[in-house]
Structure 1
Amino acid sequence: MLNISGLKEGIVLDHIEAGKSLEIYYNLGLDKLDCQVAIIKNARSSKMGRKDIIKIEGGLDHIDLDILGFIDHTITVNIVRDNAIVEKKTLCLPKKITNVIHCKNPRCITSIEQELPHTFYLTDEESETYRCRYCEEKYTK
């Protein structure tokens, strides 16, 4: 059995859908951080069958919860201090996301004005539909 050591101070992202950990790793910019990050892929889970886990050394300031909530709002965020989980955060779909997804509409102003931020607003929580701030182009997960 594989053994990954405990975390004294940091964050554990748990209940990640199997295979999604690298997408989260790059979208959160964890590859640019100067701290230890452990990715556990395809861990056994009684609830999910298989899941991924990411352990991040350091504080919550490393994590953009809006990006994480957009990618998968069912992920559990565990805050660890002194080798114990002291807080669990639940995520929700963010009302607004910027520069996570890009507008596919070739007539959108973001296609011409490259420096404009790609901003999307949540328009339908049930279907997880977002719309572009500028052209109303629909993005559905």
Structure 2
Amino acid sequence: MLNIDEIQNGIVIDHIKAGTAIGLMDLLGIKGNRTASVALIQNARSHKAESGRKDIIKVEGDASWLNLDVLAYLDPDISVTVIENGKAVKKEKPQPPKRLVNIVRCKNPRCISSIEEECDQIFELSSNGKYRCIYCEQELQVKPE
């Protein structure tokens, strides 16, 4: 069995779909961050996951710079545990954010966000639970893998 030391202060992002944690680290900005100690566990055994496998990301230290709102959009099964002094003090499942900013791109070739380079890609959560581009109302079709 593989052993990874416990963290004293930080967060654990757990129940990530197996094989997707590296892409998730890119979107969250963890991969390029040089100030945080990060442990990436891939294909760990899981009794809850359909595939029987999951990924885990552990971030040691101050993780307040992370935009965790996007997690619920990317993978609704993800859980986040806050660790303080070696103890789990809070565990939660992130809720879908009301807005996605520069996380996904609008697929409409006529949308202003596709034409203008410096235009932010902004999608808002509609009443039907789907995200729509604020400029052209294009609905997001599929979540990224």
Normalising by structure 2, report the TM-score: 0.89
- 1:12: Cα distance to partner? 0.3
Query: What residue in structure 2 maps to residue 131 of structure 1?
Result: 132
CA RMSD of aligned residues (A): 1.2
Structure 1 runs of 4+ with >3 Å offset: none
1:42 paired residue number? 43
Q: Secondary structure at the match of 2:69?
A: helix
Percent of aligned positions that are identical:
44
Q: Structure 1 or 2: larger helix share?
A: 1
In the alignment, structure 1 segments of 5+ residues that lack a partner are none
SS of the residue 1:8 aligns to: coil
Query: Counterparts of 1:73 and 1:95 in 2: how far apart (Å)?
Result: 15
Letter of the 2:123 partner, please give it. F
User: Partner residue of 2:25?
Assistant: 25
Question: What secondary structure does 2:7 align onto?
Answer: coil
Q: Is the strand fraction higher in 1 or 2?
A: 1
Structure 2 unaligned blocks of 5 or more: none
Number of residue pairs matched by the alignment: 138
Q: CA deviation at 1:112?
A: 2.0
Report matched runs for 1:84-123 at 5 Å.
Answer: 84-123=87-126
TM-score by length of 1: 0.92
Q: Per-residue deviation at 1:81?
A: 0.9
